[in-house]
Chain A
Amino acid sequence: MASKKENIETKEKPSKPKGEVVIHAKGIKKSFGEKEVLKNITFDLKRGENMVVLGKSGQGKSVTIQCVVGLLKPDEGELQVFGEEVAGMSDEELKQLRIKIGFLFQSGALYDSMTVRENLEFPLTRVLKLKDQAEIDKKVEEVLDNVGLLDAIDKLPSDLSGGMRKRVGLARTLIVNPEIMLYDEPTTGLDPITSREISELILHMQQKYKTSSIIITHDLECARITADRIVVMNDGEYIAEGSWKELQKSDNELVRSFFNETT
């Protein structure tokens, strides 16, 4: 598996991360009623980087990326995307920001009354306001081909398997060429083989579309395949940060317990 990642890196990743910070979060806090979900979240995501947030379910991992796209507002702290504070944005500014951010939901969140083609056309016609049907068709077919689902173009989401739905969801977010990709549990509910395929697809797409990504997961295999950097989250806080190899040797017992599962 590691050798496959190395192959992709040497073959397709032409440029190193430029180092520019695209998401800057400092001291983010978020509570729902009495429950404090995010306690003090601080991180930077650099351009071209894949950052994996690893942690058990219910630790507030998804809340972090929902704050990034403005679906939720942090109670405290700074959260800047491309140098702009998200909390202070107007609706129009938020819309413009969201065009630059792709969000892959846990379920794929495909519009179930539309075919795969219509799902993919939706952001092109509503967000990018494309009118030329030939151009739209070309983009739809190209991105579906990239995720290996060109044959499913006229199917309804209900006719697709879980893995196929995630691939189409990924295609729908990538079709507008986002600069940042946020993945919310991309491999949850999938069998190990499909999980690995999705993880490899995420890595491949990141290299092809040159995106910066935050991948929320509790799947260690997904983290191992996709991560440039891993942060481990527990009880609303980041408790460790580093590469796969560094975290395997962590002094923190909880972090080690995570990684020992696969070693």
Chain B
Amino acid sequence: MAEQVITGWRKWMLGIGEQCVFFGRFFQNIFAGGFEWSEFVRQCYEIGYRSLMLVGITSFIMGFVLILQLRPSLVALGAASMLPKTLAVSFIREMGPVITAIICAGKIASSIGAELGSMKVTEQIDAMEVSGANPIQYLVVTRIIATSLMVPLLSIIGDVIGLLGGFLALNINDKISFTLYFQKCMGSLDFSDFLPAVIKTVFFGFAIGFVGCYKGYHSDKGTESVGIAANSAVVTASLWIFVIDAIAVQVTSLLFYK
């Protein structure tokens, strides 16, 4: 029993060490020259455009549902006019970025983990390496940078769509014009609501890309490993999103809401 615990911890520590080395290789290759622009553009399309529908639908539903859930409480307090403001602040600061990131962790981290895992199992990564090409440059750098850019972009689009969902839900019971609704939403937000939210989505995107690439690149041989890599990528990336979110809230509070 004790031996198993020690072995587990040792394995965990080795994993941390491996991730540090992998991060070092990624970082080194960003500045190594020969950036794979065509692969980067392809990844941006795969990661960004192909996730847009899913993020859009989810954000719309979340905005819609949030208004319906908030309305009874705020009406009871006589603060129904606060609905747009409440939705805007909660969605821009927290709900939008986190929901987008979780959706992306499920869709993108798993797909990167499975793709690279399958390339590992079928020796495609080894083939790239022994040919003298640079698999980190081609497979890892492009994907991590693409997720770091696309997740914030998806999050911003998701925010707008979420607010649209809220507008529709609000109009079920109340009448509010589109212009007035967005004036109320935007009027309640300032720089300190947008900037930290966007910055944290860059970290969410980085975590999603990094975890997906690491899990896929270091998967074991055998078809079972592909499933394990994909599954493990989703779980780990989701966990990292919440950890980063918790840290981001603390840092934002210290910097903006003293």
Known contacts A126-B134, A126-B138: A109-B129 contact under CB 8 Å: no
Min C-beta distance of A5 to chain B, whole Å: 29
Contact string against A for B residues 121-137, beta-carbon threshold 8 Å, 1 for contact and 0 otherwise: 01110111111111000
Contact partner of A111 (CB less than 8 A), chosen from B34, B124, B130, B134, is B124
Contact indicator per residue, chain B 207-241, by CB within 8 Å of chain A (1) or not (0):
00000000000000000000000000000000000
A109 in contact with B132 (CB, 8 Å): no
Q: How far is the CA of A101 from the CA of B131 in the complex (A)?
A: 8
A127 and B132 contact, CB distance less than 8 A? yes
Residue among B34, B122, B134, B138 making CB contact with A109, cutoff 8 Å: B122
Judge whether A98 and B123 touch: CB under 8 Å: no
Cα–Cα, bound, A230→B123 (Å) = 26
Residues in A138-192 with C-beta less than 8 Å from chain B: 169, 172-173, 176
Q: Are B131 and A107 in contact (CB under 8 A)?
A: no
User: Across the interface, which residues of B come within 8 angstroms of A107, CB to CB?
Assistant: 122-123
Q: Least Cβ distance of B217 to chain A in Å?
A: 14
Q: Is A69 an interface residue (CB 8 A)?
A: yes
Contact pick for B131, options A106, A112, A123, CB 8 Å = A123
> A177–B234 Cα gap in the complex (Å)?
42
14 sample A-B contacts, Cβ–Cβ < 8 Å, listed by A number: A95-B132, A101-B130, A103-B130, A107-B123, A109-B127, A110-B124, A111-B119, A111-B128, A122-B131, A126-B34, A126-B133, A127-B133, A169-B127, A176-B131
CB neighbours (8 Å) of A69 from chain B are 130
Chain A proximity of B195: nearest CB distance (Å): 37
Question: Could you say which residues of chain A place their CB within 8 Å of the CB of B129?
Answer: 71, 98
B residues sitting closer than 8 Å to A (CB atoms) are: 34, 119, 122-124, 126-134, 138
**Which A residues are CB-close (under 8 A) to B128?**
111, 122
A257 interface contact, C-beta 8 A: no
Using CB atoms, name the residue of chain B closest to A129.
B34
Q: Is the CB of B124 within 8 A of A127?
A: no
Do the beta carbons of A112 and B133 come within 8 Å of each other? Answer: no
Q: Which residue of B lies closest to A122 (CB)?
A: B133
The 10 closest A-B pairs by CB, nearest first: A109-B127, A109-B123, A98-B132, A126-B133, A99-B132, A103-B130, A127-B132, A105-B123, A69-B130, A95-B132
A184 → chain B, closest Cβ, in Å? Answer: 9
Q: How far is the CB of B223 from chain A (nearest CB, A)?
A: 13
If A112-B122, A126-B138 touch, does A103 touch B132 (CB 8 Å cutoff)? no
For the complex, give the distance between the alpha carbons of A103 and B130 in Å. Answer: 7
Least CB separation from B126: chain A residue: A71
A99-B131, A123-B133 known, 13 other contacts, Cβ within 8 Å: A71-B130, A95-B132, A99-B132, A105-B123, A105-B127, A109-B127, A111-B119, A111-B128, A122-B128, A122-B131, A123-B131, A123-B132, A127-B133
Q: What is the CB-to-nearest-CB distance from B216 to chain A, in angstroms, rounded to a whole number? A: 14
Contact: B122 with A98, CB < 8 Å? no
Tell me if A96 is interfacial: C-beta within 8 Å of chain B: yes
> Which residues on the A side are within 8 Å of B132 (C-beta)?
95-96, 98-99, 123, 126-127, 176
The listed residue with most A CB atoms (<10 A of its CB), out of B119, B131, B138, is: B131
Q: How far is the CA of A95 from the CA of B215 in the complex (A)?
A: 24
